[in-house]
Amino acid sequence: MSKKLLLAKAHVPGIRTYEVYRHEGGYTSVEKALKMTTDEVVEEVKKSGLRGRGGAGFPTGMKWSFIAKPEGVPRHLVVNADESEPGTFKDRYLMEFIPHLLIEGMIVSSYALGSNVSYIYIRGEYAWITNILEQAIDEAKANGWLGKNIQGSGFDCEIYVQRGGGAYICGEETALIESLEGKRGNPRIKPPFPAVKGVWERPTVVNNVESIAAVVPIINEGGEEYAKIGIGRSTGTKLISACGNINKPGIYEIDMTISVEEFIYSDEYCGGIANGKKLKACIPGGSSVPILPANLLLTTAKGEKRLMNYESLSDGGFATGSMMGSGGFIVLDEDQCIVRNTYTLARFYRHESCGQCSPCREGTGWMEKILQKIETGKGEMSDIDLLWDIQRKIEGNTICPLGDAAAWPVAAAIRHFRDEFEWHVNNPTLCLTENYGLRHYADKIHVPV
């Protein structure tokens, strides 16, 4: 069984309240950190090898070290709680059931970064969680963990919660900053990066909820001990939001040494494919990462078992691999239509495009229309090549990664399931009434031994 660092106390009755959280060892990392220098805290995070848990996987300690420190200019920590990636719901769980873990991580992180005013930018639809977080902040402040001269350390820190307006684009850090400042959430052109000019043109670090929560066990146990968990550059534990056609959807904390096959089929995790069906494909890191058919999902390009970590999931590049991403693990069984699912994702990204860049603004709408045409039995073979050409011209040609996020699902669907698209074109009547299942795709369906 994987070691639990973030969810170890998740089911303790009353853990949402300060009294119970403190009784279970809460805020000890703050006590420890305040006796260290800020550089020592940053060094522990570097030693841990913690990578950003929001999707990019950039080393957190290195990101912290980039923050500019001009004399007399305030610095800020902003927690990205705008969890809008389809298939991802781990941060919601942390904030809803263990809010003080995030607050504790923010205090330590704010101290390390020299941020006296920090923010949680939360997805607008998470209205009830906003209330939970604000209550936790009030409790922490009432007990001397926030405000002036925290625990007599001389360090001041305030935390504020800001609700977003319900825009997926605000998960991108510069769009988030624009929205936090009260403007439309359009991504900024970089450079300058937020570490130099972020909120109100002040040095800013933006980190994901899970990343900041992970700072607590890192300080409590030490960066080197944290780094012993996992494998290679995939250190520590990772929260996975598992959903789709599985027997046990939910949030799982893994140590990134287990195989994808074990994660899907073991009773400890997903418990196998629902209703006795067979595995067809999976989107392993949230809707924006490339889909993988079962044969590539379970085995790397090197013929090894694929593991649930950053390196293994990306082995071979997009030709044979995908990405860990945000950990949104979406499983599709043999009856799922890849064309229909890709069309659904294309609709989402077209709707969420801010429209600032013409490749994304025009390209996402164009892809949606072509996929609708194919899915409704009106497609032509040339449409498949046209889709491929459009996604290729979107990827890498936009200010922010939303264009890539829209292009990758389409590219991977065509790359791995082109014959399914062709089947839709050749069977315009059947594709409206019949699932494209096992009988059409036996070579890429996985039957567990």
Q: Name the pLDDT band for 444 (thresholds 50, 70, 90).
A: low
User: What value does the mean pLDDT take over residues 264-271?
Assistant: 96
CB-based contacts of 338: which residues, under 8 Å, 6+ apart? 281, 291, 332, 413, 417, 420, 421, 436
The whole-number average pLDDT for the span 202-224 is 96
Q: Tell me the pLDDT band of 448, cut-offs 50, 70 and 90.
A: very low
Structure tokens at 145: 């963990």
CA–CA dist 136, 39 (Å, integer): 28
Cα–Cα distance between 260 and 251 in angstroms, integer? 15
Q: What backbone phi and psi angles, to 5 degrees, belong to 155?
A: -95, 130
CATH architecture for residues 234-333? Roll (3.10)
Q: Is the pLDDT of residue 313 over 50?
A: yes
The whole-angstrom separation of Cα 23 and Cα 26 is 7
How confident is the model at residue 436, as a pLDDT? 53
The pTM assigned to this predicted structure is 0.93
Q: Residue 70, preceding bond cis, omega within 30 degrees?
A: no
* pLDDT one-digit tens code per residue, 69-79: 999 999 999 99
Q: In the chain, what are the domain boundaries?
A: 18-228, 234-333, 338-444
Identify the CATH number of the domain defined by range 18-228.
3.40.50.11540
- Rounded Cα–Cα distance for residues 2 and 52 (Å): 20
pLDDT digits (tens, 9 = 90+) for 45-62: 999 999 989 877 899 999
Question: In whole numbers, what is the pLDDT of the chain averaged over residues?
Answer: 92
192, two tokens: 């300058």
For residues 176 and 182, the answer to whether their CB atoms sit within 8 Å is: no
Which candidate, 253, 275, 249, places its Cα nearest to that of 264? 249
For residue 263, the model assigns a pLDDT of 96
Give the CA distances from residue 374 to residues 84, 210, 256, in Å, rounded to whole numbers and listed in that order.
27, 39, 38
pLDDT, residue 447, reads: 47
Q: Are strands 76-81 and 117-122 parallel, antiparallel or unpaired?
A: parallel
Per-residue confidence (pLDDT) for residue 54, from 0 to 100: 85
SS3 289: coil
* Helices and strands (H, E) in the chain, number of each type: 17, 11
In angstroms, the Cα distances linking 310 to 80, 254, 259 are 21, 13, 12
User: Any alpha helices (H) in 184-284, and if so which ranges?
Assistant: 209-221, 223-227, 260-265
- Write out pLDDT tens, residues 139-152: 999 999 999 999 99
CB 168 within 8 A of CB 352: yes
- List of residues 6+ apart from 39 with CB closer than 8 A: none
Tokens representing 375?
């899915």
Crossing angle of helices 402-426 and 358-375, rounded to 10° = 20
Pick the CATH number of 338-444 from 3.30.360.10, 1.10.3720.10, 3.40.309.10, 1.20.1440.230: 1.20.1440.230
| Arithmetic mean of pLDDT, 414-433 | 87
Helix (H/G/I), strand (E/B), else coil: 118: strand
Q: Which of 333, 336, 339 is nearest to 421 (CA)?
A: 339
* Structural contact between residues 423 and 381, judged by C-beta atoms closer than 8 angstroms: no
What percentage of the chain reaches a pLDDT higher than 90? Answer: 88
pLDDT, greater one: 200 or 3: 200
pLDDT tens, residue by residue, 249-259: 999 999 999 99
The span from the CA of 210 to the CA of 238, in Å, is: 8
Distance CA 376, CA 202 (A): 50
Q: How much is the pLDDT for 122?
A: 96
Q: Which stretches within 86-145 are classed as H helix? A: 90-97, 99-113, 127-142
Host H or E run for residue 338: helix 338-352
Residue 120 predicted with pLDDT over 50:
yes
pLDDT at residue 442 tops 90: no
Q: 263 vs 145, 238, 337, CA distance in Å?
A: 38, 13, 23
Model pLDDT for residues 101-117, shown as the tens digit of each residue: 999 999 999 999 999 99
- pLDDT over 50 (residue 449): no
Query: Is the distance from CB of 85 to CB of 328 less than 8 angstroms?
Result: yes
Can you give the pLDDT at residue 446? 54
Evaluate if residue 88 carries a pLDDT over 50. Answer: yes
Burial of 304 per CB tally in 10 Å (0-12, 13-18, 19+): exposed
Q: What is the spatial distance between Cα 68 and Cα 204, in angstroms, rounded to a whole number?
A: 8
Q: Could you give phi then psi for residue 15, rounded to 5 degrees? A: -60, -20
Q: What is the pLDDT at residue 439?
A: 43
Q: Phi and psi at residue 70, in whole multiples of 5°?
A: -65, 145
Q: Which of 107, 106, 104 is nearest to 26 (CA)?
A: 104
CB 341 within 8 A of CB 254: no
List CB contacts of 63: < 8 A, sequence separation 6 or more: 52, 195, 205, 207
Which pLDDT score, from 0 to 100, does residue 443 have? 52
Residue 3 has pLDDT above 90, yes or no: no
Q: Are strands 234-235 and 230-231 parallel, antiparallel or unpaired?
A: antiparallel
In this structure, of 113-117, 208-212, 238-242, 312-316, the range with the lowest mean pLDDT score is: 312-316
What does the pLDDT read at residue 445? 54
Distance from the Cα of residue 238 to its chain's centroid? 10
pLDDT tens-digit map of 328-384: 999 999 999 999 999 999 999 999 999 999 999 999 999 999 999 999 999 999 999
* Cα–Cα separations (whole angstroms), residue 177 to 126, 144, 251, 366, 437: 18, 29, 28, 29, 44
| Residue 404 in this model has a pLDDT that exceeds 80 | yes
**Which pLDDT band holds residue 2 (cuts at 50, 70, 90)?**
low
Give me the pLDDT at residue 125, please.
92
